[in-house]
Amino acid sequence: MKMPVHSSEEPEPRAPRADRLPMEGFAIVVDGHFKSRFDTAEAAESSGRALKSTYPMLRIEIYDAVTTARTLLG
C-alpha cells in the first residue's frame, strides 16, 4: 500500500471563476458572459476590439468593476 506524499509546497492558487463579477479591474463580456479580466481599461478595450474584428457578430462589452458600468464596443 502506497503512503500519500506530503509536500511542503503551498498549493497553486485557483483561477478566478468566470461566473462571478470581478471586484477590481476590467473584464470583457461576450454575449452576456464574463470572459477575460484585465488591470486597465485600455488592455480590455484592445483585446475586445481584436475579438470584435475577428468575430463581428459578437456583442462585446467592457465591464468596469469599480463603477459596475458596461460599455458596448461598436
What is the pLDDT at residue 15? 67
Q: Is the pLDDT of residue 45 over 90?
A: yes
In a domain, 17, yes or no: no
pTM for the model stands at 0.73
Please count the structural domains in the chain: 1
In a domain, 40, yes or no: yes
What is the pLDDT at residue 21? 80
Share the mean pLDDT of the chain: 86
The domain containing residue 62 runs over which residues?
26-72
Task: Determine the average pLDDT of the residues in 58-72.
Answer: 95
Which residues face 62 on adjacent strands?
A: 28, 71
Q: Is the pLDDT of residue 65 over 90?
A: yes
